[in-house]
Amino acid sequence: MSRTAGLRRDLRTALVAGVVAVLVTSTPSIAAKVKNADKVDGKHAVAAKASVKKRAGKLVATDRSGHLPDDIVRKPADADRLDGLDSTAFRSRTAAPGELMTGIVAMVTVNTSNASAATTATFPAPLAMTLPASRTTVVPPGGSTAQCPGVGQVAVNGWLCVYEAGTFKVLAVSVFDPATTTSGVNRDGFELSFSCDTGTCIFEGTYAVRAPA
């Protein structure tokens, strides 16, 4: 063997030995990093089914459906709005003076003889006071009055207009306060009482009420 060939072999051997030495010396630092892989930013992680005590101060994984446990939040902060509306827009408020509120009112019943029937309607917001029967008007289909000029309209504050859209075998219609069972309008709504003929009795219509000033 020539001296040159032997030198090449020695160089290859030295190179392999150097690479091995580098890998061996770097292994402890790699292992040290892998050893800490059960933490994220220094915090341990637990499964979604872990108890409250075991998951305290730890990261919590989602379940198979991708959800967190139902009790992950002790008590959510109160929202300032619901569907974009301030809480004052909901039922706890009282209708503003002159505020117009509308809705539907309907009833279907079957009688074996002439009988009475009733249905109720609830206002979106309570009135400031009840209304007497003298401040209610039941308007037949297509009709109007000075106080009730048309469907969805009320010309006078503190007045209820019931607009009939269609009736069948309805003999008479009256407005009652369901809380007192007397004629008139309750702060929260009203009862529409009917006298019906034998068979199927139908009332369909709308109401409009303007809050008292």
Name the nearest CA neighbour of 205 among 102, 116, 101, 106: 106
Structure confidence by residue, pLDDT tens digits, 150-175: 999 999 999 999 999 999 999 889 99
Give the single-character DSSP code of 88.
G
Average pLDDT over residues 53-69: 82
Tokens representing residue 5 in the block: 């060939």
- CB neighbours (10 Å) of residue 105? 20
Structure confidence by residue, pLDDT tens digits, 109-164: 998 888 888 999 999 999 999 999 999 999 999 999 999 999 999 999 999 999 99
